[in-house]
Amino acid sequence: MGLFDKVKKVKKLAAEHEDKIADGIDKVADVVDDKTGGKHHDKIEQAAEKAKEAVDKLDGKDDPDR
């Protein structure tokens, strides 16, 4: 299995489990927010949204060429 095949597999898995991944990102963001006492809430939320956008891009939904 070459690198391209592995990338295709990751994209497929991300598309199939996008909701679970997003939930995991939210849970991690909540834990980090709690650990920092809400001191960096805005930055944590921004990072979580960027991470979810990155997962969304993996499945090709935002790809204008498709």
Domain ranges within the chain, ordered by starting residue: 3-58
Mean pLDDT score, 1-21: 89
Q: How far apart are CA 1 and CA 8, in angstroms?
A: 11
For residue range 25-61, list pLDDT tens digits in order.
Answer: 999 999 999 999 999 999 999 999 999 999 988 876 6
66 pLDDT band (50/70/90 cuts)? very low
Q: How far apart are CA 62 and CA 56, in angstroms?
A: 7
Amino acid letter, 20 = K
Q: And the tokens for 24? A: 């995991």
Write down the pTM of the prediction: 0.78
Instruction: Name 66's Cβ contacts closer than 8 Å, sequence gap at least 6.
Output: 60
